[in-house]
Amino acid sequence: MIEAAAQQKNIAEFILTKVDRSIYHPPFILSPEQPIHSVTQQLKERGIDAALVELHPSDPRLAHNHAHPYAIVTRTNMLHAVMLEGRPLDTPVGEIATFPVLHVDEGDFLFNAMVMMTRQRIKRVMVCLGNQAVGLLSLIQILSAFSTHSHVLTLAIARAASIDELALAANKQRELVESLMSRGVRTRFVMELIAAVNEQIIEKAFELVVPPALHDQCCLVVLGSEGRGEQILKTDQDNALIIQDGLEWHQCQPIMETLTHTLLQLGYPLCPGKVMVNNPKWVRSQSDWKRTLTDWVKAARPEQVMVPFLLTRMRWQEIVRCLRL
């Protein structure tokens, strides 16, 4: 009975889920003149198997059709065009692209998209906002959303190109926890999954805030229960930064202020004890950190009683690797 009730809740949750940016892929839009060989290479480089083709207003297919001005081309389309129809590799993709493209509107129910795809026997639909294509939604993504939502969440985090997009994905985390707990998933496993999600959120925030050229020259260390993966919900920020010896980084302090504010925006509260990267005490070079850690362990003064506690909760194999960089 309990298992059946949990399954019903899962189905109800899926039915009420709406199509939004955390679920669908942003579209890769081509011009109709691009040749098959070039498009094939571009799809391979992007790791995708389909793209939209934006048709010109003069395209005859739009003359007596109220459909959106897009066609769709897939790797299968191009394979059949070349191998079965004998078309040359410089054939414009606009000539072989499928039109019209079935679509759902952003904000429509995900369940409706699945029903449409099932009825039409298609693997993907276009997502539109008004007359503008804003994404592609595949059947695999829908089935992932139906299973646990975790796959969709991690995809949204990985694809986030701005803090706003990352925040949109991060806000889904509580829903994931509630969904897993309602299905009777053991707390320990939920903690492990949420720890992995938290790592991805924080790592993505770091990548978006810190200049790319510096990513390999510094290391963000997450301390406390967050670093050990002991929580289900987000806890206070406890973090530090290790900077490569010899690196002159004059903008470090303002960037760390931005990172701290960004993590706060993503739902990680400020640490009351100020154990955060916006505090210069927790931003040091490799050599400085080695000396500091040695001094802290040896000194054992009353005001430093929390330091060993913080350090024992770190995953040391990762910290040693960072200190060596």
Report, as an integer, the average pLDDT of 204-233: 81
Query: Cis peptide leading into 100, omega within 30 of 0?
Result: yes
**Residue 74 belongs to what H/E stretch?**
strand 70-74
- Final residue before a domain boundary, out of 144, 179, 202: 144
pLDDT of residue 317: 43
Q: Is residue 175 part of a domain?
A: no
- Final residue before a domain boundary, out of 117, 144, 171: 144
Kindly state the DSSP code that residue 149 receives in the 8-state scheme: S
Number of domains in the chain: 2
Q: Is residue 151 part of a domain?
A: no
Residue 61 confidence (pLDDT) above 60? yes
Residue 8 confidence (pLDDT) above 50? no
Residue 103 · residue 128 · CB < 8 Å: yes
pLDDT for 108-163, tens place per residue? 888 778 778 866 778 899 999 988 999 999 887 776 665 555 556 777 788 888 99
Residue 74 · residue 53 · CB < 8 Å: no
Q: Confirm whether pTM is higher than 0.85.
A: no
Range of the domain at 67: 22-144
**Residue 129 belongs to what H/E stretch?**
strand 124-129
Residue tagged 């927790």 (tokens): 282
Q: Are residues 225 and 306 in the same domain?
A: yes
pLDDT for 230-241, tens place per residue? 565 677 888 999
Q: Is residue 100 part of a domain?
A: yes
The C-alpha atoms of residue 296 and residue 32 are separated, in whole angstroms, by: 65
Average pLDDT of the chain is 81
Q: Is residue 177 part of a domain?
A: no
The C-alpha atoms of residue 320 and residue 325 are separated, in whole angstroms, by: 8
Geometric angle at alpha carbon 218, from 212 and 221, rounded to 5°: 115
